[in-house]
Amino acid sequence: MENKLRSVGILGTGSCLPEKALTNHDLEKMVDTSHEWIVKRTGIEQRYVADENTATSDLATKAALRALEDAKVSAEELDLIIVATLTPDMALPATACIVQKNIGAKNAAAFDLEAACSGFLYGMTVAQQFIATGMYEKVLVIGAETLSKVLDWTDRGTCILFGDGAGAAVLGPTEEGMGILSATMGADGEGGKFLFMPAGGSRMPASVETVKERLHYVKMDGSEVFKFAVRIMGKAAKEVLEKSGNSVEDIDYLVPHQANIRIINSAAKKLKMDIEKVHVNLDKVANTSAASVPIALDEAARTGKIKKGDLVVMVGFGGGLTWGANVVRWNK
C-alpha cells in the first residue's frame, strides 16, 4: 500500500538585519556613483552591513530564534537545520552546525546548501520532502548572508547592489490542502560565468597572488544576469502555479527575490499582477541573496499582508545560474 505524503506548511518566520545602514549617499563618498543613478537603475536606497565582528551564523542564529518563537517550537524539537548561504563562516564546519550549537538544537541534523540567491527556495523544497515522507517533523530553513565581506568596494557594478541579513522559516506538517502546494527548481550551469567568485576554492586556492588580484570578490556580468532574471522570474512563477493547479489570477501575494526593482516590475507585468500584491523591500535592504526571500516573507507575514488561506508565490533566481519557486497556501 502506497504511503500518502503529508502536507507541509510554514509554522513560523523570523529575520535579522545588522545594525548599520549604508546609504547611497554614503556610497557616493566611496565609489564613483550617485544616489539618483542607483535608485533609477535598481530601486535601492540603502543596505545593511555587518560589522567586522559579525559573521553569517550570528545573523542566522537571531533569525532562527525569532522563527522558533513565532512558530512556538523549541530548538530541541527540530530534526534538521538547513542554512542556505554563499558566505559561510568558514569552509568547515557548516554554518548550520554553528547555528545548531548556538540555539541548542541538540537533536537536529545540520547542513549548508549553496544555490546563491535561490538558496532559501531550494532549502524549502528539500525540507518539504523530509517532512512529507514522515522522516522528520520539524525543519528549520535559514537563508543568511554577509555579502559585504566578499564585495569589492571599488567596483561600483557590484558593491551598490548587495546587503547583509538573514531570514528563517520553521516547517512542519499541516492540514491537507494547506502549506506548500508545489515547487520548482532549476539550474543552467552554462551561465555560471556571469556571476561567480574566482578564488578561495579548490580550483584556485587562496594565495598572495589571488589576494593581490582581488579574486576573492564577487564578479558579475550585470547585463547578462538581468536578461536571465527578467526571463526566468515570470516563467518559474507560471510553471509552479500550473503544477499547483492554480492560475495567476489566484495569487493573493507575490514574494520575489529582491534584486532589482526593474526585474520585479517586469515579473509583475508578465504575470499581470497589481504591484500592490507584490512585496518589495529592496529599497531598504538591497539584494541579500539567499536571505532575500525569507526576510521579505517575514516582513509580509508580520505586517499582516499575508493572511491565513492566502495563496502566496515565492520566486527567485541566482548565481549558478539557478532559480526556484514555491506556491504556498498560507496556513498560519
**pTM for the structure as a whole:** 0.96
Active site (annotated) includes residue 25? no
Would the CATH topology of 8-177 be identical to that of 180-329?
yes
- Say how far apart CA 4 and CA 20 lie, in whole Å: 48
Active site (annotated) includes residue 287? yes
The predicted-structure confidence for 221-239, as pLDDT tens digits, reads as follows 989 999 999 999 999 999 9
Active site (annotated) includes residue 279? no
- Say how far apart CA 118 and CA 309 lie, in whole Å: 25
Low-confidence ranges of the chain (pLDDT < 70): 1-2
Question: Residue 326, by phi and psi: left (phi above 0), alpha (psi -120 to 50) or beta?
Answer: beta
Strands (E), 50-164: 80-84, 109-113, 139-145
Model pLDDT, residue 1: 43
Model pLDDT, residue 288: 98
Instruction: Please name the fold of domain 180-329.
Output: Peroxisomal Thiolase; Chain A, domain 1 (3.40.47)
Marked catalytic residue, from 117, 260, 279, 326: 117
Domain ranges of the chain: 8-177, 180-329
The rounded percent of the chain whose pLDDT value lies above 70 is: 99
Q: Which three cell numbers stand for residue 237?
A: 512563477
Marked catalytic residue, from 24, 257, 260, 279: 257
- Say how far apart CA 271 and CA 249 lie, in whole Å: 9
CATH number of 8-177: 3.40.47.10
Side-by-side strand order, sheet with 253-256? 179-187, 322-329, 311-318, 253-256
Backbone angles phi and psi of 51, in degrees to 5: -80, 175
Amino acid identity at 200: G
Marked catalytic residue, from 24, 260, 287, 331: 287
Strand, helix or coil for residue 247? coil
The predicted-structure confidence for 20-60, as pLDDT tens digits, reads as follows 999 999 999 999 999 999 999 999 999 999 999 999 999 99
